[in-house]
Amino acid sequence: MRRSHPRARGGCRAARFDLDNAEDYYLAAIALAEELEMRPLVARGELGIGRLYLRAGDRDRAEDHS
């Protein structure tokens, strides 16, 4: 079985409207990227979860990740 980065899984889940799992994957990706000090991946994760919250209609949480 092939493993993928949690951010990629978050994007796939978001595309399928599986918002709860997408949120979990994005948060895991952000935590991992922060731990590894990979600032570009942190930024991409924050952007992804912000977009996810916008799709869900939660503007306040989206702004927290912009």
Fold for the domain defined by 6-64 = 1.25.40
Q: Note the pLDDT tens digit of each residue in 2-55.
A: 455 555 555 555 555 677 788 888 899 999 999 999 999 999 999 999 998 998
Domain limits of the chain? 6-64
End-to-end CA distance of the chain: 34
Radius of gyration of the chain (CA): 11
Which pLDDT belongs to residue 1?
A: 40
